[in-house]
Amino acid sequence: MRLYLIRHGRQNSKLCNVDVDISEAGYNQSILLGQRLVGDGIQVVYSSGLKRAIQTAQTANFYWNVEHYMYPELREISYGDMEGLGDDEIARQFADFFVEQNKMEYDIPFPKGECAGDVIRRVLPVFRQIVESHYDKVAIVTHGGVIRCMVAHVLGMDLVKWRTLGSHLENSSITELEWHPDRQRFTLERFNDYAHLTAYPELMRSSWLER
């Protein structure tokens, strides 16, 4: 079984983890994603219940035409008190937190939010349900924090290091896991693959961050 973990398309806001629609760029990213995977034989698509994940899945699924299931457990890691704030305000209010987080001494939760272990505990049951299904090719449209936490878990990493797995994942990027039932574990086959975006620099995250 192959799981295609997909980060949602670009959202309409730069504020932290707000539940908003995807932007025009996000729709274009989702179209390119759908076109890229159209020949891979996607059999079902799962998504979180946040608008940006749902809309990414729906747009890409125009090319796959498969069942789409929403699971709230696949939502982004909770940033707690940081949610709804901009980067500058977050840096100002939570400077002491980031000093502690960057020490990487333990899996520290965001203030009144979650840590990597919390994400894994809620997402793993969904993954177990998926691997027990009859599907072979599954697309899961979720969020950057979720993907990085789950990859750290699959690789057996100390969870305190989940943030070393890419500073940011590109919107609509593909991270692929293969499930081996004989060994009862996943292997990581690719990470943050955004080849479908490289011909469109305006769709790359670096372009968005510069605005």
Tell me the per-residue pLDDT of 185-199, one tens digit each, with 9 for 90 and over. Answer: 999 999 999 999 999
Helix (H, G, I), strand (E, B) or coil at 136: coil
Q: Which residues, in sequence order, are CB contacts of 142 under 8 Å at separation 6+?
A: 5, 6, 7, 8, 47, 48, 53, 74, 75, 76
Side-chain-side CA neighbours of 104 within 13 Å: the count stands at 8
Q: pLDDT exceeding 90 applies to what percent of the chain?
A: 96
Q: How confident is the model at residue 100 (pLDDT cuts 50, 70, 90)?
A: very high
Token pair listed for 36:
């890229």
State the pLDDT at residue 102. Answer: 95
Q: How confident is the model at residue 208 (pLDDT cuts 50, 70, 90)?
A: confident
Measure the CA–CA gap between 116 and 20, rounded to whole angstroms. 23
Residue 85 lies in a domain: no
Helix 24-37 / helix 51-64 crossing angle, nearest 10 deg: 40
Residue 15 lies in a domain: yes
Q: What is the CATH number of the domain that holds 17?
A: 3.40.50.1240
State the pLDDT at residue 72. Answer: 98
The structural domain count of the chain equals 1
What pTM, to 2 d.p., does this model score? 0.96
Q: How confident is the model at residue 71 (pLDDT cuts 50, 70, 90)?
A: very high
Residue 105 lies in a domain: no
For all residues of the chain together, what is the average pLDDT? Answer: 96
**Residue 211, pLDDT above cutoff 70:** no
Residue 40 lies in a domain: yes
Measure the CA–CA gap between 19 and 5, rounded to whole angstroms. 20
Residue 43 lies in a domain: yes
Range(s) of the domain holding residue 121: 10-78+114-209
pLDDT in tens, 103-156: 999 999 999 999 999 999 999 999 999 999 999 999 999 999 999 999 999 999
From 20, 24, 16, 14, select the one nearest 53 (Cα to Cα). 20
pLDDT in tens, 156-189: 999 999 999 998 899 999 999 999 999 999 999 9
